Amino acid sequence: MLPKGKIVIVGVLNVEGSTNLYMGKAFEKLGYEVIPCNYRTILQKYGPRTLEATLFKLSEDKPDLMVFSKCNGIDSLIIAKCSMNCKTWLWYMDGLATLSTVPEIIEHANMADYASCTGLGVANYIKKHIGEDVHHILEGIDPEVYRPTLQLPGYAADISFIGTANQERIEYVQTLSEAGIDIKAYGNGFNEEIHGNMFNAVCSSSTSMLALSAEYTTQEYFSDRIMRYGSCGAFVFHKYAPLMEKYFSDGEDLVYFDTPESLVEAIKFYFHPDKTDLRIQIANNLRNKVLSNYTWVHSVQKIIDTAEI
């Protein structure tokens, strides 16, 4: 069967675990041929002129869409040049705090035919600067990658966290530990980094998972760990972020908290022996909601529909 069309993804598709790989896989599932352009590798090895020439040549081949995934460090003018030959899309997946360190993203969005952000507050912020619509599309998950698996005794815990250590996250780990709760933390700055199947094993072996966002003031921007944990079938505690209840209901899909102390109380409540069935039901609800609404296929379909390709 012939592909529906061609999609160029300008991002990182040569590193295991990159979300661009999952995006590309979703486009392929929906019938499109995906042409990867690993812009960071080209930029580092050959410099900006070669990268710009490569991108422009890809656009001259008239793909149905060129998706520029963040692409910090490149000249926005190359996106404008590519837009003369084909439809272009700026995909931005981080929050406002990160955006302040990569201001070129705003100009990228201005030069692209379409732009989207995974946080509504970020989308609105960029829209104010460029005067054009910026779409809000959540980052999806690949359920073939993030899935329930066999429990491993070495990863058993009351609650586990996966992510890079920072002051807030260290404080949560210390508070829970001091409260007598068995918590294990994985990631840069903690004991062990977790990738691939081990991520699934941690989620399946731990009684619950802890989700902490990088920031909490951006409207409708929250940790993508919810999607990954949920796809693995985990029972999730997530620090509340503005308007999260639009997507996940407290006590039905997951459990919200505001402070380390309120998290300790929530854990004690839901870990009571008579709440076991409730925990299982909440975890199942979250998994069903994620798989029904928030996979990469759902995210990519919104791109396809918006760009009319």
167/130 same-domain check: no
Q: What is the DSSP letter of 295?
A: B
Query: Which residue's structure tokens are 């966002």?
Result: 213
Q: Over 90: is that where the pLDDT of 214 sits?
A: no
CA distances to 67, 78, 114, 206, 235 from 306, in Å: 13, 22, 8, 39, 34
pLDDT of residue 6: 98
Q: Round the average pLDDT of the chain to a whole number and report it.
A: 95
pLDDT of residue 152: 92
pLDDT of residue 17: 87
3-state SS assignment for residue 257: strand
170/60 same-domain check: no
The answer as to whether 178 is a domain residue is: yes
pLDDT tens-digit readout, 283-295: 999 999 999 999 9
Q: Which of 90-99, 106-115, 148-157, 217-226 bottoms out in mean pLDDT, i.e. has the lowest?
A: 217-226
The answer as to whether 11 is a domain residue is: yes
CA distances to 169, 252, 294 from 231, in Å: 23, 16, 10
22/129 same-domain check: yes
202/222 same-domain check: yes
Query: Which residue's structure tokens are 């692209």?
Result: 112
> Which position has the higher pLDDT, 218 or 258?
258
pLDDT of residue 242: 83
20/35 same-domain check: yes
The answer as to whether 1 is a domain residue is: no
The answer as to whether 28 is a domain residue is: yes
105/160 same-domain check: no
**Mean pLDDT computed over 133-162:** 96
The answer as to whether 237 is a domain residue is: yes
pLDDT of residue 192: 85
Q: What's the structural domain count of the chain?
A: 2
The answer as to whether 145 is a domain residue is: no
Is residue 210 within a helix (H) or strand (E), and if so which, with residue range?
Answer: strand 209-211
The answer as to whether 148 is a domain residue is: no
pLDDT tens-digit readout, 232-249: 999 999 999 888 999 999
117/202 same-domain check: no
Q: Which residues pair with 209 in a beta bridge?
A: 160, 236
Instruction: For residue 19, give its domain range.
Output: 6-140+295-307
172/101 same-domain check: no
72/179 same-domain check: no
| pLDDT interval class at 258 (50, 70, 90) | very high
Q: Which of 70-74, 145-149, 188-192 bottoms out in mean pLDDT, i.e. has the lowest?
A: 188-192
Cα end-to-end span (Å), the chain? 18
pLDDT tens-digit readout, 15-46: 988 999 999 999 999 999 999 999 999 999 99
As to burial, measured by CB atoms within 10 angstroms (0-12 exposed, 13-18 middle, 19+ buried), residue 16 is: exposed
120/166 same-domain check: no
- CATH code of the domain covering residue 203: 3.40.50.2000
48/134 same-domain check: yes
Q: How many residues does the chain have?
A: 309
Nearest Cα residue to 307 out of 43, 99, 30: 30
195/123 same-domain check: no
